[in-house]
Amino acid sequence: MIHIEERKLPQHNIPIVTFFHPKKLYLHLSQHTGRSSKLVVNKGDLLEEASLIAERDGLISASLSSPVKGYFKDIVSFNHPSLKRGLAVVIEREESPNKIYSFNKKALFLKRDALLDKIQKAGIVGMGGAAFPTHVKLNPPKEIDTLIVNGCECEPYLSCDYRLMVEKSEEIFKGVEIICRIISPKRVLFALEENKLEAIKKFNSMISTKRIPLPNPKVIILSSRYPTGGEKQLIYVLTKRIVPLGGLPFDVGCLVHNVGTIFAIYEAVYYNKPLVERVVTFAGGALREPKNILLKLGTTIRELFDGGILSFKKEPLKIIYGGPMMGITLKGLDYPVMKGTTGILFLTKEEIDIREESVCIRCARCVDNCPMGLLPLEFVKKVKQKEYIYLNDLYIKDCIECGVCSFSCPAKIPLVHYIKIGKKYAVNR
């Protein structure tokens, strides 16, 4: 665990703005962990907003709905941040007022299965970055006693979750109440980092008014250290329980949900609104005005610049999809926003480190700081010597790729890069 300069200003204190008028949308069929969604519409169809485009294929998959009213133009291979290229549905938006979602009066009386069905149909996935289908997570094979609401947002620059917590705190509480109806936990812990003052205040007052009944709710303020917001770290810090190697949080009776996901659940249940939009942080030294923007999934970054929503102050040297610690570098502006996009960062030469790798001096900062208690320097040694058979004995699969080792390395060794290679080749002896 380390302290990293936050760099969350000014976007931290600027209200969310909206951008609902993209000309063209590129909706990837693979926006989540698991199998790609299966297309259910035909080329040339006129799609209504919130109508189903693709349904889930198998258990670990998610459905996809149209974010706007428009024509299904084509299906093309388009830039994908993690897959490089992926099949994407191209939708041309029809000029029409945005759909108004009506309040679902029955929402308060829905039972577990009906709620799960609604969440599944809405295509909700984890919105903190990993994009794991939420309906699977909400249907664990074991009993859950602790629900953790993850509002840590420990990555520098990002502030979309914070803005959501400040501006939609009541909605988030209603979302938590829905989750409690599904999994009936014994307590609810709201985990927030100390730098999120406004959100802490709002959450505490929400709890004290008791308007939304939750089982033993409590706000827990954590010191802002990276990576506190990681699922396994959060569980350990809050409950002192350790998720076993290869296990999932439900193995220790915990369930962790990001506030963005919870907000999406609220909208899906109370307004029958599928996951078609999300808040994304656009920040970095290259931007004139960093912003948190609520936008339609599939909007390309280029459209935001063409539409004058964003503009460059300086030339960026790196464009990052996600946070600066775990994000993926992009090769240009033609990438769409997806369900798991937390931020797009435009970093200048001054903000990133491009010093060259030198030799390891065994200072063990990577070992001391590793939140998973691993030996990152040994991984690098083994990968460099191509001794892949030893990697599993060192628990390389336990690595969460948080980037703490590379960050703290004085020799500037890109440890995560070597670990990713090692994970590909690691085999069981």
User: Using CB under 8 A as the criterion, which residues of the chain lie in contact with another protein when the complex forms?
Assistant: 4-5, 156, 232, 236, 242-247, 251-252, 315-320, 322, 324-332, 345, 347, 351-355, 358-364, 367-368, 370-375, 377, 394-395, 397-398, 401, 403, 406-412, 414, 416-417, 420
Q: What is the DSSP letter of 2?
A: B
Query: Measured from the CB of residue 398, what is the shortest distance to another protein in angstroms?
Result: 4
Residue pair 169/199 in contact (Cβ under 8 Å)? The answer is yes
Instruction: Give the three-class secondary structure for 282.
Output: strand
Query: Measured from the CB of residue 78, what is the shortest distance to another protein in angstroms?
Result: 18
Quickly list DSSP for 287-356: BSS-EEEEEETTBBHHHHHHTTSS-BSS--SEEEES-TTT-EEESSS--B--TT--EEEEE-TTTS--PP
Residue pair 215/185 in contact (Cβ under 8 Å)? The answer is yes
Quickly list DSSP for 86-146: EEEEEEEEPS-PPPPPPP-GGGGG--HHHHHHHHHHTT-B-TTTT--BHHHHTS-SS---E
Which of 307/332 has CB closer to another protein? 332
Query: Measured from the CB of residue 346, what is the shortest distance to another protein in angstroms?
Result: 10
Residue pair 303/370 in contact (Cβ under 8 Å)? The answer is no
Q: List CB contacts of 414: < 8 A, sequence separation 6 or more.
A: 357, 406
Instruction: Give the three-class secondary structure for 420.
Output: helix
Which of 342/406 has CB closer to another protein? 406
Query: Measured from the CB of residue 348, what is the shortest distance to another protein in angstroms?
Result: 11
Which of 203/379 has CB closer to another protein? 379
Which of 261/406 has CB closer to another protein? 406
Which of 297/347 has CB closer to another protein? 347
Q: Is the dihedral of CA 95, 96, 99, 100 positive or negative?
A: positive
Query: Measured from the CB of residue 179, what is the shortest distance to another protein in angstroms?
Result: 24
Distances (CA, A) of 401 to 148, 192, 365: 22, 22, 16
Query: Measured from the CB of residue 132, what is the shortest distance to another protein in angstroms?
Result: 18
Query: Measured from the CB of residue 146, what is the shortest distance to another protein in angstroms?
Result: 16
Query: Measured from the CB of residue 334, what is the shortest distance to another protein in angstroms?
Result: 12
Please calculate the CA angle 314-316-320 and round it to the nearest 5 degrees: 140
Which of 274/403 has CB closer to another protein? 403
Which of 138/372 has CB closer to another protein? 372
Quickly list DSSP for 83-94: TEEEEEEEEEEP
Distances (CA, A) of 175 to 22, 39, 61, 135, 199: 28, 29, 22, 14, 16
Which of 90/345 has CB closer to another protein? 345
Short-list 172, 312, 311, CA closest to 163: 172
- How many Cβ atoms sit within 10 Å of the Cβ of residue 363? 13
Which of 25/304 has CB closer to another protein? 304
Query: Measured from the CB of residue 6, what is the shortest distance to another protein in angstroms?
Result: 11
